[in-house]
Amino acid sequence: MRAIVVSQWGGPEVLTETETERPEPGLGEVLVRVHAAGVNPVDWKTRATGGLIAWGPVPAVGWDVSGTVEAVGPGVTLFQPGDEVFGMPRFPHQAGAYAEYVTAPARHLTRKPAAIDHVQAAALPLASLTAWQALTDTAGLKAGQRVLVHAAAGGVGHFAVQIAKALGAYVIGTASAAKHELVRSLGADEVIDYRTTAFEDVVSDVDVVIDGIGGDYGVRSLKVLRPGGHLITLTSPDQVPADAEGFRTGWTLVEPDHAGLRAVAALVEEGKLRPVVDTVLPLAEAAKAHEIGERGRTTGKIVLTVSQAG
Protein backbone atom coordinates (compact mmCIF):
# COMPACT_ATOMS: atom_id res chain seq x y z
CA MET A 1 0.00 0.00 0.00
CA ARG A 2 0.97 3.66 -0.35
CA ALA A 3 1.80 5.49 2.87
CA ILE A 4 3.39 8.75 3.94
CA VAL A 5 6.27 8.37 6.38
CA VAL A 6 8.83 10.64 8.02
CA SER A 7 12.34 10.07 6.69
CA GLN A 8 13.84 12.22 9.48
CA TRP A 9 12.60 14.99 11.75
CA GLY A 10 12.36 18.31 9.98
CA GLY A 11 10.28 20.42 7.60
CA PRO A 12 7.47 19.30 5.30
CA GLU A 13 10.03 18.03 2.79
CA VAL A 14 10.82 15.05 5.06
CA LEU A 15 7.39 13.57 4.33
CA THR A 16 7.97 10.71 1.89
CA GLU A 17 5.51 8.54 -0.01
CA THR A 18 6.52 4.90 0.12
CA GLU A 19 5.21 1.41 -0.64
CA THR A 20 4.83 -0.73 2.45
CA GLU A 21 3.08 -3.89 3.56
CA ARG A 22 -0.64 -3.64 4.24
CA PRO A 23 -1.24 -4.16 7.97
CA GLU A 24 -3.40 -6.94 9.39
CA PRO A 25 -5.95 -6.36 12.17
CA GLY A 26 -5.11 -7.94 15.50
CA LEU A 27 -7.31 -8.89 18.43
CA GLY A 28 -10.11 -6.35 18.81
CA GLU A 29 -8.99 -4.40 15.74
CA VAL A 30 -10.37 -3.58 12.31
CA LEU A 31 -8.61 -2.85 9.02
CA VAL A 32 -9.89 0.32 7.39
CA ARG A 33 -9.48 1.23 3.73
CA VAL A 34 -8.80 4.94 4.04
CA HIS A 35 -10.80 7.30 1.82
CA ALA A 36 -9.66 10.52 3.50
CA ALA A 37 -7.26 11.57 6.26
CA GLY A 38 -7.51 14.77 8.28
CA VAL A 39 -4.49 16.99 8.91
CA ASN A 40 -3.94 18.52 12.36
CA PRO A 41 -1.32 20.76 13.99
CA VAL A 42 -0.07 17.81 16.03
CA ASP A 43 0.85 16.12 12.73
CA TRP A 44 3.36 18.79 11.71
CA LYS A 45 4.58 19.40 15.25
CA THR A 46 5.52 15.74 15.66
CA ARG A 47 6.93 15.61 12.12
CA ALA A 48 9.28 18.43 13.06
CA THR A 49 10.64 17.04 16.33
CA GLY A 50 9.14 13.63 17.05
CA GLY A 51 7.15 15.17 19.91
CA LEU A 52 5.71 12.94 22.60
CA ILE A 53 4.48 10.29 20.17
CA ALA A 54 5.43 6.64 20.67
CA TRP A 55 6.82 6.02 17.18
CA GLY A 56 6.98 2.57 15.61
CA PRO A 57 9.83 1.14 13.53
CA VAL A 58 8.70 3.24 10.54
CA PRO A 59 7.53 6.73 11.59
CA ALA A 60 4.14 6.94 9.90
CA VAL A 61 2.00 10.08 10.05
CA GLY A 62 -1.59 11.04 10.84
CA TRP A 63 -4.53 10.05 13.04
CA ASP A 64 -7.80 11.39 11.61
CA VAL A 65 -9.34 8.85 9.28
CA SER A 66 -12.58 8.13 7.44
CA GLY A 67 -13.02 5.01 5.37
CA THR A 68 -14.54 1.58 4.94
CA VAL A 69 -13.95 -1.47 7.12
CA GLU A 70 -12.04 -3.97 4.99
CA ALA A 71 -11.59 -6.74 7.56
CA VAL A 72 -12.18 -7.39 11.27
CA GLY A 73 -9.88 -9.08 13.75
CA PRO A 74 -10.82 -11.74 16.30
CA GLY A 75 -13.34 -10.60 18.90
CA VAL A 76 -14.77 -7.65 16.97
CA THR A 77 -18.55 -7.50 16.89
CA LEU A 78 -19.07 -3.74 16.56
CA PHE A 79 -18.34 -3.57 12.82
CA GLN A 80 -18.26 -5.78 9.77
CA PRO A 81 -16.62 -5.41 6.35
CA GLY A 82 -18.29 -2.70 4.29
CA ASP A 83 -19.20 -0.44 7.23
CA GLU A 84 -18.26 3.21 6.77
CA VAL A 85 -16.42 4.52 9.83
CA PHE A 86 -14.40 7.46 11.08
CA GLY A 87 -12.19 8.04 14.09
CA MET A 88 -8.83 8.84 15.62
CA PRO A 89 -7.08 5.54 16.33
CA ARG A 90 -4.37 5.07 18.96
CA PHE A 91 -3.65 8.75 19.71
CA PRO A 92 -1.16 9.78 21.03
CA HIS A 93 0.54 6.59 19.86
CA GLN A 94 1.38 6.09 16.22
CA ALA A 95 -1.51 5.34 13.85
CA GLY A 96 -0.29 6.15 10.34
CA ALA A 97 -3.56 7.44 8.86
CA TYR A 98 -1.80 9.01 5.85
CA ALA A 99 -2.02 5.67 4.07
CA GLU A 100 -4.30 3.50 1.95
CA TYR A 101 -5.02 1.21 4.91
CA VAL A 102 -4.83 1.59 8.68
CA THR A 103 -5.62 -0.72 11.58
CA ALA A 104 -7.47 0.55 14.62
CA PRO A 105 -8.95 -0.76 17.86
CA ALA A 106 -12.62 -1.12 16.97
CA ARG A 107 -13.79 1.24 19.69
CA HIS A 108 -11.52 4.01 18.50
CA LEU A 109 -13.98 4.38 15.59
CA THR A 110 -17.69 4.86 15.05
CA ARG A 111 -20.01 4.85 12.05
CA LYS A 112 -19.65 7.73 9.65
CA PRO A 113 -22.70 10.02 9.62
CA ALA A 114 -24.67 9.44 6.43
CA ALA A 115 -25.22 13.19 6.12
CA ILE A 116 -21.58 13.89 5.20
CA ASP A 117 -18.95 12.44 2.87
CA HIS A 118 -15.59 10.94 3.80
CA VAL A 119 -13.68 14.20 3.30
CA GLN A 120 -15.94 15.97 5.78
CA ALA A 121 -15.86 13.01 8.18
CA ALA A 122 -12.05 12.92 8.12
CA ALA A 123 -12.08 16.54 9.30
CA LEU A 124 -13.95 15.63 12.46
CA PRO A 125 -12.20 13.24 14.86
CA LEU A 126 -9.27 14.87 16.64
CA ALA A 127 -10.55 18.46 16.55
CA SER A 128 -14.19 17.74 17.34
CA LEU A 129 -13.30 15.26 20.09
CA THR A 130 -10.93 17.82 21.61
CA ALA A 131 -13.79 20.33 21.74
CA TRP A 132 -16.33 17.76 22.96
CA GLN A 133 -14.14 16.37 25.74
CA ALA A 134 -13.01 19.83 26.86
CA LEU A 135 -16.54 21.20 27.08
CA THR A 136 -18.39 18.16 28.43
CA ASP A 137 -15.96 15.95 30.33
CA THR A 138 -13.50 18.57 31.58
CA ALA A 139 -15.66 21.68 32.02
CA GLY A 140 -19.03 19.99 32.56
CA LEU A 141 -20.67 22.73 30.51
CA LYS A 142 -24.32 23.46 31.34
CA ALA A 143 -27.00 25.22 29.36
CA GLY A 144 -27.04 28.96 29.98
CA GLN A 145 -23.33 29.23 30.78
CA ARG A 146 -21.00 31.60 28.92
CA VAL A 147 -18.15 30.22 26.82
CA LEU A 148 -15.25 32.08 25.21
CA VAL A 149 -13.57 30.25 22.32
CA HIS A 150 -10.24 31.59 21.08
CA ALA A 151 -9.35 31.00 17.41
CA ALA A 152 -13.03 30.36 16.81
CA ALA A 153 -12.60 29.79 13.07
CA GLY A 154 -9.77 27.27 13.49
CA GLY A 155 -9.83 23.49 13.58
CA VAL A 156 -10.83 22.96 17.21
CA GLY A 157 -12.38 26.41 17.58
CA HIS A 158 -15.05 26.07 14.90
CA PHE A 159 -16.19 22.80 16.45
CA ALA A 160 -16.12 24.23 19.99
CA VAL A 161 -18.41 27.08 18.93
CA GLN A 162 -20.96 24.67 17.47
CA ILE A 163 -20.81 22.13 20.30
CA ALA A 164 -21.11 24.80 23.00
CA LYS A 165 -24.10 26.28 21.19
CA ALA A 166 -25.70 22.84 20.81
CA LEU A 167 -25.30 22.37 24.58
CA GLY A 168 -27.20 25.61 25.22
CA ALA A 169 -24.32 27.97 26.02
CA TYR A 170 -23.90 31.65 25.18
CA VAL A 171 -20.87 31.61 22.89
CA ILE A 172 -18.26 34.31 22.32
CA GLY A 173 -15.48 33.79 19.79
CA THR A 174 -12.27 35.57 18.84
CA ALA A 175 -11.31 35.66 15.15
CA SER A 176 -10.04 38.03 12.50
CA ALA A 177 -12.67 40.29 10.96
CA ALA A 178 -12.71 38.34 7.69
CA LYS A 179 -13.90 35.25 9.55
CA HIS A 180 -16.64 36.85 11.66
CA GLU A 181 -19.45 35.94 9.27
CA LEU A 182 -18.43 32.29 9.34
CA VAL A 183 -18.13 32.19 13.14
CA ARG A 184 -21.57 33.76 13.52
CA SER A 185 -23.01 31.25 11.05
CA LEU A 186 -21.69 28.48 13.30
CA GLY A 187 -23.69 29.85 16.22
CA ALA A 188 -21.53 32.41 18.02
CA ASP A 189 -23.52 35.09 19.81
CA GLU A 190 -20.59 37.53 19.80
CA VAL A 191 -17.39 37.67 17.77
CA ILE A 192 -14.37 39.82 18.68
CA ASP A 193 -11.65 40.91 16.26
CA TYR A 194 -8.50 40.03 18.18
CA ARG A 195 -6.43 42.24 15.90
CA THR A 196 -8.21 45.45 16.89
CA THR A 197 -9.73 44.69 20.31
CA ALA A 198 -8.30 43.25 23.52
CA PHE A 199 -10.92 40.64 24.39
CA GLU A 200 -10.36 41.11 28.13
CA ASP A 201 -11.55 44.70 27.79
CA VAL A 202 -14.95 43.76 26.39
CA VAL A 203 -15.74 40.29 27.81
CA SER A 204 -16.62 39.34 31.39
CA ASP A 205 -18.46 36.78 33.52
CA VAL A 206 -17.34 33.80 31.43
CA ASP A 207 -17.74 30.28 32.79
CA VAL A 208 -15.43 28.43 30.37
CA VAL A 209 -12.55 29.55 28.14
CA ILE A 210 -11.15 27.29 25.43
CA ASP A 211 -7.61 28.45 24.64
CA GLY A 212 -5.99 26.91 21.60
CA ILE A 213 -3.52 29.75 21.07
CA GLY A 214 -1.25 29.83 24.13
CA GLY A 215 1.25 32.59 24.82
CA ASP A 216 -0.28 35.30 26.99
CA TYR A 217 -3.84 34.24 26.15
CA GLY A 218 -4.08 32.10 29.27
CA VAL A 219 -3.20 34.88 31.71
CA ARG A 220 -5.40 37.35 29.85
CA SER A 221 -8.29 34.88 29.84
CA LEU A 222 -8.26 34.65 33.64
CA LYS A 223 -9.42 38.27 33.67
CA VAL A 224 -12.72 37.41 31.96
CA LEU A 225 -13.59 34.34 34.05
CA ARG A 226 -16.13 34.29 36.84
CA PRO A 227 -14.83 33.07 40.22
CA GLY A 228 -14.56 29.31 39.91
CA GLY A 229 -14.57 29.53 36.11
CA HIS A 230 -12.63 27.06 34.01
CA LEU A 231 -9.70 27.85 31.68
CA ILE A 232 -8.92 24.90 29.41
CA THR A 233 -5.55 25.11 27.66
CA LEU A 234 -5.08 22.99 24.54
CA THR A 235 -1.57 23.98 23.43
CA SER A 236 0.83 22.52 26.03
CA PRO A 237 1.08 22.08 29.81
CA ASP A 238 3.61 24.89 30.14
CA GLN A 239 1.01 27.34 28.79
CA VAL A 240 -1.26 26.92 31.84
CA PRO A 241 -1.06 30.06 34.04
CA ALA A 242 0.90 29.35 37.20
CA ASP A 243 -1.04 31.78 39.39
CA ALA A 244 -4.73 31.05 38.94
CA GLU A 245 -6.12 31.03 42.48
CA GLY A 246 -9.91 30.96 42.49
CA PHE A 247 -10.16 29.37 39.04
CA ARG A 248 -9.97 25.89 37.58
CA THR A 249 -7.16 25.60 35.04
CA GLY A 250 -5.40 22.82 33.21
CA TRP A 251 -4.12 21.34 29.99
CA THR A 252 -6.23 18.71 28.28
CA LEU A 253 -5.09 16.13 25.72
CA VAL A 254 -7.68 14.48 23.52
CA GLU A 255 -8.19 10.71 23.84
CA PRO A 256 -9.75 8.13 21.49
CA ASP A 257 -13.38 7.98 22.59
CA HIS A 258 -16.09 5.83 20.99
CA ALA A 259 -18.85 7.44 23.05
CA GLY A 260 -17.60 10.94 22.21
CA LEU A 261 -17.43 10.09 18.51
CA ARG A 262 -21.01 8.83 18.62
CA ALA A 263 -22.11 12.07 20.28
CA VAL A 264 -20.32 14.10 17.61
CA ALA A 265 -21.87 11.98 14.86
CA ALA A 266 -25.32 12.51 16.37
CA LEU A 267 -24.84 16.28 16.32
CA VAL A 268 -23.84 16.06 12.66
CA GLU A 269 -26.94 14.01 11.81
CA GLU A 270 -29.12 16.52 13.70
CA GLY A 271 -27.66 19.40 11.68
CA LYS A 272 -26.06 20.98 14.76
CA LEU A 273 -22.44 20.37 13.77
CA ARG A 274 -20.72 20.73 10.42
CA PRO A 275 -17.04 20.48 9.58
CA VAL A 276 -15.57 23.39 7.63
CA VAL A 277 -12.97 22.11 5.18
CA ASP A 278 -10.49 24.72 4.01
CA THR A 279 -8.27 22.70 1.67
CA VAL A 280 -8.45 19.24 0.06
CA LEU A 281 -5.32 17.69 -1.44
CA PRO A 282 -4.34 14.20 -2.63
CA LEU A 283 -2.24 11.97 -0.38
CA ALA A 284 0.86 12.57 -2.50
CA GLU A 285 0.71 16.28 -1.58
CA ALA A 286 0.92 15.73 2.19
CA ALA A 287 3.98 18.02 2.35
CA LYS A 288 1.99 20.83 0.74
CA ALA A 289 -0.82 20.26 3.25
CA HIS A 290 1.68 20.70 6.10
CA GLU A 291 3.12 23.83 4.50
CA ILE A 292 -0.36 25.35 4.31
CA GLY A 293 -1.22 24.34 7.87
CA GLU A 294 1.96 25.74 9.36
CA ARG A 295 1.13 29.20 8.04
CA GLY A 296 -1.56 29.35 10.74
CA ARG A 297 -4.22 30.90 8.53
CA THR A 298 -6.43 27.90 7.89
CA THR A 299 -10.17 28.24 8.35
CA GLY A 300 -11.47 24.91 9.61
CA LYS A 301 -9.54 21.84 8.46
CA ILE A 302 -7.19 20.46 5.81
CA VAL A 303 -7.95 16.99 4.44
CA LEU A 304 -6.04 14.51 2.25
CA THR A 305 -7.94 12.26 -0.15
CA VAL A 306 -6.61 8.73 -0.34
CA SER A 307 -8.91 6.33 -2.19
CA GLN A 308 -12.39 6.51 -3.65
CA ALA A 309 -15.33 5.03 -1.75
CA GLY A 310 -17.26 2.25 -3.42
Q: 16 with 73, same domain?
A: yes
Q: 139 with 244, same domain?
A: yes
Is pLDDT above 70 for 54? no
Assigned domain for 264 exists: no
Task: Tell me which residue range forms the domain holding 113.
Answer: 2-124+275-305
Q: 285 with 177, same domain?
A: no
Task: Output the domain CATH number for residue 46.
Answer: 3.90.180.10
Q: 202 with 247, same domain?
A: yes
- Distance in angstroms (rounded) separating the CA atoms of residues 30 and 21: 16
Q: What is the pLDDT of residues 64-113, one digit of tens each?
A: 999 999 999 999 999 999 999 999 999 999 999 999 999 999 999 999 99
Assigned domain for 258 exists: no
Residue 49 is predicted with a pLDDT of 85
Is pLDDT above 80 for 55? no
How far does Cα 297 stand from its chain's mean position? 16
Q: 46 with 141, same domain?
A: no
Q: What is the pLDDT of residues 226-269, one digit of tens each?
A: 999 999 999 989 999 988 899 999 999 999 999 999 999 999 99
> What is the average per-residue pLDDT within 129-157?
98
Assigned domain for 267 exists: no
Assigned domain for 268 exists: no
Q: 78 with 9, same domain?
A: yes
What global pTM score does this model have? 0.95
Q: 59 with 90, same domain?
A: yes
Is pLDDT above 80 for 57? no
- Distance in angstroms (rounded) separating the CA atoms of residues 120 and 273: 11
Q: 141 with 188, same domain?
A: yes
Q: 131 with 209, same domain?
A: yes
Is pLDDT above 60 for 275? yes
Assigned domain for 265 exists: no
Is pLDDT above 60 for 310? no
Assigned domain for 161 exists: yes
Task: Output the domain CATH number for residue 222.
Answer: 3.40.50.720
- What separation in angstroms does the CA of 106 have from each of 6, 76, 83, 137? 26, 7, 12, 22
Q: 6 with 53, same domain?
A: yes
Residue 53 is predicted with a pLDDT of 67
- Distance in angstroms (rounded) separating the CA atoms of residues 185 and 198: 23
Assigned domain for 239 exists: yes
Residue 287 is predicted with a pLDDT of 97
At 58, the pLDDT band (50, 70, 90 cuts) reads low
User: What is the rounded average pLDDT for all residues in the chain?
Assistant: 95
Q: 85 with 199, same domain?
A: no
> What is the average per-residue pLDDT within 7-29?
94
Query: Percent of the chain, pLDDT > 70?
Result: 97
Residue 52 is predicted with a pLDDT of 65
Q: 236 with 280, same domain?
A: no
Domain tally for the chain?
Answer: 2
At 308, the pLDDT band (50, 70, 90 cuts) reads confident
